[in-house]
Amino acid sequence: MKFSSKIQRCALSPIRKFYPYQVECVKQGKKIYHLNIGQPDIKTPPIYFETVRNFSAPVLEYAPSPGIPSVIQAVQKYFEEIGIHYDTPDIVVTSGGSEALMFTMATILDDGDEILIPEPFYPNYSTFVNTTGGKIVPIPTTAEEGYHYADKDKIEKLITPHTRAIMFTNPGNPTGAVLNHEECKMLAELAVKHDLFLIADEVYREFIYSGEPLSSMGSFKEAENHVILIDSVSKRFSACGARIGVVITKNKDFQGEFMKLCQARLSVATLDQLASAQLYTVDKSYFEEVRVEYKKRRDTVYNALSKIPGVICKEPKGAFYVMAKLPVKNAEDFLVWLLTEFEDKGETVMYAPGGGFYATPGKGLNEIRIAYVLNCQDLERAIELLRLALEQYKD
């Protein structure tokens, strides 16, 4: 039987492909410190669960395809508070940020179209683009430069007649890199100059550790017809299982085409929407407390990594990830060894190998992504295990 050439261009998740080794490791009685998946351990605000428990309608009906009004109004209010106004039709609710991204790619890309994305990038970007027949053109970065990519000359020389969009995560997954205002403005100007979509994946917006106020690509009025914002409740409210995201843009033509896909999937889960709308009512102190906690974790991981001989990494400025280069030839082989042969006092550690975060073949083979989603004590032990393993490992 024949399968789609587009699906065959897609790869399995580089983050989850080591699950069989994990299972066998646990069977052997080892404890694993999981730094491999960005699943926060921060408690979801209780109001989410209270809303679900208190739901009493006699019929669980379809929701409107664009989303339940209470969710859209909650998102509007959230952006008003950071100085950006969106009308109701500018916001469409999706089944998580992933559906928002996949539908966006399907709306703007044809076979052979190109989209510029700084690498390393969130691996599912490859899946979203490949299923359209489009092609990722990587914006190159290096660990030594902290994965900085916001260089006008570097980006502009990659733009061709086939380029349809520039896409990035800010703050960055997997690098923790954060764009400043001038860099955001430069990207907005490039999008306008070359008539490109500018897709800003801002699901980690709350997690910036230098103290500046929240910002968004949506604040550049001159580029409002080019900017497409991707947002979600998953990371902001530690509600990954809620699967509620949004696509936001003032480009009416885009929204009209995008809605064809939303109508085809009928609606986003009603209960998840109703409960997620209430998440936006939590007190601002929730975010302050979460930021303080993640900053402690960032500092714990970065300081410990910096003391390991041969490791190269720069301090991440946002999100809850750090990308690092290890003194090994192949981080995947090293991870298999960690799960099958290494242990210290019955414990070992997992991370996400870096190769899967690149589109360029052969890049990132000796890099890793660490998600600092554990408490500081566990993070200290996890990085200690990494250090001990590197001391023992023979390439």
User: In terms of residues, how long is the chain?
Assistant: 395
Instruction: Give the pLDDT confidence of 15-31 residue by residue, as tens digits.
Output: 778 989 999 999 999 99
Q: 158 and 84, same structural domain?
A: yes
Question: What total number of domains does the chain contain?
Answer: 2
H or E segment to which residue 338 belongs: helix 331-340
Q: What is the pLDDT of residue 246?
A: 98
Q: 310 and 170, same structural domain?
A: no
Q: 73 and 212, same structural domain?
A: yes
- Residue type at position 213: P
- Going by C-alpha positions, the residue among 347, 297, 290, 348 that lies closest to residue 322 is 297
pTM of this structure: 0.95
Q: 186 and 90, same structural domain?
A: yes
- Distance between CA 366 and CA 382 in Å, rounded? 19
- Going by C-alpha positions, the residue among 311, 329, 323 that lies closest to residue 387 is 311
Check whether 212 has a pLDDT greater than 90.
no
Which of 279, 294, 326 is where one domain is finished?
Answer: 279
Confidence of residue 13 (pLDDT cuts 50, 70, 90): confident
List b or e across 245-284, with b for residues whose CB sees 16 or more CB atoms inside 10 angstroms.
Answer: bbbbbbbeebbeebbebbeeeebbbbebbbbbbbbbeeee
Name every residue whose Cβ is closer than 8 Å to that of residue 284 and which is 6 or more positions away in sequence.
Answer: none
- Distance between CA 267 and CA 374 in Å, rounded? 34
Instruction: Judge contact between 170 and 201, C-beta under 8 A.
Output: yes
Q: 138 and 20, same structural domain?
A: no
Q: What is the CATH number of the domain that holds 327?
A: 3.90.1150.10
Instruction: Give the pLDDT confidence of 124-177 residue by residue, as tens digits.
Output: 999 999 999 999 999 999 999 999 999 999 999 999 999 999 999 999 999 999
Q: What is the CATH number of the domain that holds 128?
A: 3.40.640.10
Q: 170 and 120, same structural domain?
A: yes
- Distance between CA 204 and CA 172 in Å, rounded? 8
Instruction: Give the pLDDT confidence of 343-379 residue by residue, as tens digits.
Output: 999 999 999 999 999 999 999 999 999 999 999 999 9
Q: 375 and 268, same structural domain?
A: no
Instruction: Judge contact between 332 and 355, C-beta under 8 A.
Output: yes
**Selected residue with higher pLDDT from 110 and 395:** 110
Instruction: Give the pLDDT confidence of 295-336 residue by residue, as tens digits.
Output: 999 999 999 999 999 999 999 999 999 999 999 999 999 999
Q: 313 and 166, same structural domain?
A: no
Which of 230, 249, 279 is where one domain is finished?
Answer: 279
Which of 228, 250, 279 is where one domain is finished?
Answer: 279
Name every residue whose Cβ is closer than 8 Å to that of residue 377 and which is 6 or more positions away in sequence.
Answer: none
Q: 257 and 289, same structural domain?
A: no
Tokens linked to 39: 């699943």
Residue numbers of the domain that contains 19? 5-43+285-392
SS3 115: strand
